Homo-oligomer: A and B are copies of this chain.
Amino acid sequence: MAYDELVKRCIDLCQQCETACLTCADACLNEKDIDMLRDCIKTDLECAEICGVTARILALNGDFQKDIVRLCQQLCEACAEECEKHAGHGMEHCEACAKACRACAEACKKLVA
C-alpha cells in the first residue's frame, strides 16, 4: 500500500479504537463487578486519548506523526492485553475493545515500518 493509503487506514482504525475504548469505559462503569474493571477503565481512557490525538496529527500531516504513531501502537497493545483478561468473562465491550486495539496497533506498526 502507498503511504497515503496506510495513513488513511491508520486514521480510521485509531478513531474506531478511540470509540471502542470510550464505549468500553462507559460499559465498565455500568458493570456489576466494577471492582475488577478499574485498570480496564483507566487504560481505556489513556488509550482513547492517544488514539484520538494520533488520528488528528495524521490528518494534519504533522512533522512528529511517526513518533505519536509509535506511542499509539504501544498504548493499543497495552489496552488490548488488559481488555483480553475480561473478554472471556461475558464482557463483550472488552472483547470489542481488544479487537479494535489489536487492529489499530497493527495499522500503526505498518505505518512506521
CB-defined contacts of A78 to chain B, threshold 8 Å: 63-64
B49 touches A38 (CB 8 A): no
Stoichiometry (number of copies): 4
A26 touches B50 (CB 8 A): no
B46 touches A29 (CB 8 A): no
Instruction: Give the number of residues in A that approach B within 8 Å (Cβ atoms).
Output: 38
Is residue A25 within 8 Å, beta carbon to beta carbon, of the partner chain? yes
- CA of A34 to CA of B42, assembled, Å: 13
Which residues of A does B touch, CB under 8 Å?
A: 11, 15, 18-19, 22-23, 25-26, 29-30, 34-35, 38, 41-43, 45-46, 48-50, 52-53, 55-57, 59-64, 67-68, 71, 74-75, 78
